[in-house]
Amino acid sequence: MSDAVFEIDPDIRLARTLPARVYSDPDLFRAQRDSVFARTWQYAAHDDLVKVPGQVFPFTLLPGALDEPLVLTRDLSDQIRCLSNVCTHRGTVVVEGAGHEQQLRCRYHGRRFTLDGRFHSMPEFEETKDFPSPADDLPQVGLGAWERFLMVSLAPAMPFEEAVAPMRARLAGLPFNALVYDAAGAREYLVNANWALYMDNYLEGFHIPYVHSSLAATLDYGEYAVELERYLVLQLAIAKPGEAAFALPPSHRDHARSIGAYYFWIFPTTMFNIYPWGVSVNVVTPLAVDRTRVSFLPFVWDGAKRETGAGAGLDRVEREDEAIVEAVQRGVRSRLYERGRYSPAREGGVHHFHRLLAEFMQSR
Ligand code: FES
Ligand SMILES: [Fe+2]
């Protein structure tokens, strides 16, 4: 397939949307593993999972797309690390479950690593030459923290700070230290659609009056705003009079606006939705070309505001989104549809995402 297929005109007034094949061709999905997912920052965990030195938390990065076994540790000098969770001897997974450890010990032949990933010891290797070497340490994986949230990248194409700086600046001063994870309120959805269709839908408020009647009742559609950054899109949901909104100090640039929600998206798969009640982290896991898992992880700083305004009824809104996105997946397989055009007034976020996806898929 020629690169030209992925060209998205930088001028949204001239541009055509992504070719339908990007959403339905298994070869293109496979190519995205290295060209997109391995090179970008993905949500990993919140820092409570590695709260004290010695705590370890193994996880698989993007199961279905990257399937990379990783482990978060807090080492004895109180540093959080992300390490490969694959033993440097013969390649078994080292840490099988979350817990507290002095060292990481491989249960296959007893190789030990310190919590910062360095090789520590190994039985029966006295006669092995040039051993140990740095190649026997567990590889370190790129790790970044925004407030309480940890993101990782195998081979980042951009520094973490470049990806998150606009969000860090915009939300400084909100009470992130008070956040409590609401495990009972977490939800997982399986969507029969390509991950990028789910993102397209997330990145525009255009469909809100058509698809989300309950949400639309709380928002001022005319004031809905989109801001584009290099690797990030911010959508601002402006509350109707009387609906829940942030009370921001006079020094804050959004003080004069009645913000019902900040919807931050970090290219390609992570969303931080900030509501007056707290943060809903939405994580998209691309499982296959036409299957996507979406996780909603709620972190609460003001439980009394939970079911108010744009932050209310999130389960209903998600089901409405799922139904429409699954309908798009059926449509993009059509022999009679190739690509569309954008609304410059309403689809700047979708256009920005398509430009990023085109950029990354070309630079394989
Ligand atoms: S595979 Fe880990 S010690 Fe052999
Ligand atoms: Fe929606």
Mutate to test the pocket of ligand 1, among 88, 106, 122 (most ligand atoms within 8 A of CB): 106
Stretch 185-202: mean pLDDT? 98
* 2-35 core/surface letters (b: 16 or more CB in 10 A; e: else): eeeebebeeebeebebbbbbbbbeeebbeebbeb
Q: Which numbered ligand comes closest to the C-alpha of 107?
A: 1
Which is the closest atom of ligand 1 to the Cα of 90? 1
CA 234 to centroid of ligand 2, rounded, Å: 15
- List the residue whose alpha carbon is closest to atom 4 of ligand 1: 109
pLDDT over 90 (residue 364)? no
Residue 284 CA to residue 346 CA, distance in Å, equals: 23
Residue with tokens 């092995």: 128
Report pLDDT digits (tens) over 225-247: 999 999 999 999 999 999 999 99
Instruction: Tell which atom from ligand 1 comes closest to the C-alpha of 87.
Output: 2
Give the distance, in angstroms, between the CA of residue 263 and the centroid of all CA atoms in the same chain: 12
**Does the structure show a pLDDT above 70 at 59?**
yes
Angle between helices 348-362 and 195-202 (to 10 degrees): 150
What dihedral angle (degrees, nearest 10) is formed by the CA atoms of 12, 22, 28, 297? 90
Note the pLDDT tens digit of each residue in 296-320: 999 999 999 999 999 999 999 999 9
Distance 85 CA to ligand 1 centre (A): 12
C-alpha of residue 113 to centroid of ligand 1, in Å: 11
166-362: CATH topology = Naphthalene 1,2-dioxygenase Alpha Subunit; Chain A, domain 1 (3.90.380)
Classify 16 as helix, strand or coil: strand
Which CATH number among 2.102.10.10, 3.40.250.10, 3.90.1150.10, 1.20.140.10 corresponds to the domain 42-153?
2.102.10.10
What's the 73 CA to ligand 1 centre distance in angstroms? 19
Question: In the structure, what pLDDT confidence band is assigned to residue 5 with cuts at 50, 70 and 90?
Answer: low
What residues does CATH 2.102.10.10 cover in the chain? 42-153
User: What is the per-residue DSSP string for 154-214?
Assistant: SS-SS-HHHHHHHHHHHHTTS-GGG-EE-GGG-EEEEESS-HHHHHHHHT-STTHHHH-HH
Quote the ligand 1 centre to 337 CA distance (angstroms): 52
In this predicted model, what pLDDT tens digit does every residue of 62-87 receive, in sequence order? 999 999 999 999 999 999 999 999 99
In this predicted structure, what is the pLDDT of residue 294? 98
The predicted pLDDT at position 310 comes to: 92
Ligand 1 atom at minimum distance from 110 CA = 3
Query: Is the predicted pLDDT of residue 213 greater than 90, yes or no?
Result: yes
Pocket of ligand 1 (CB under 6 A): 87, 89-90, 92, 106, 108-111
How far is CA 176 from its chain centroid?
Answer: 18
Q: Is the alpha carbon torsion for 121, 122, 127, 129 positive or negative? A: negative
**Token duo for residue 228:** 């584009």
The conformation of residue 17, written as its DSSP 8-state character, comes to -
Give 253-302 pLDDT, tens digit per residue.
999 999 999 999 999 999 999 999 999 999 999 999 999 999 999 999 99
pTM of the model: 0.96
pLDDT score for 363: 72
**Parts of the chain belonging to CATH 3.90.380.10:** 166-362
Q: Which of 92, 103, 124, 125 to mutate to test the pocket of ligand 1 (most atoms within 8 A of CB)?
A: 92
* % of the chain surpassing 70 pLDDT: 98
The ligand whose atoms approach the alpha carbon of 138 most closely is: 1
Q: How far apart are CA 295 and CA 190, in angstroms?
A: 9
Q: Is the pLDDT of residue 4 over 50?
A: no
Q: Of the ligands numbered here, which is closest to the C-alpha atom of 205?
A: 2
Question: How many angstroms separate the alpha carbon of residue 91 from the centre of ligand 1?
Answer: 7
CA angle, 184 as apex, 46 and 246 as ends, to 5°?
A: 65
Residue pair 349/235 in contact (Cβ under 8 Å)? The answer is yes
Please tell me the distance between residue 144's alpha carbon and the centre of ligand 2 in angstroms: 28
Query: How would residue 2 be classed by pLDDT, with cut points 50, 70 and 90?
Result: very low
Does position 6 have pLDDT exceeding 90, yes or no? no
pLDDT at 3: 45
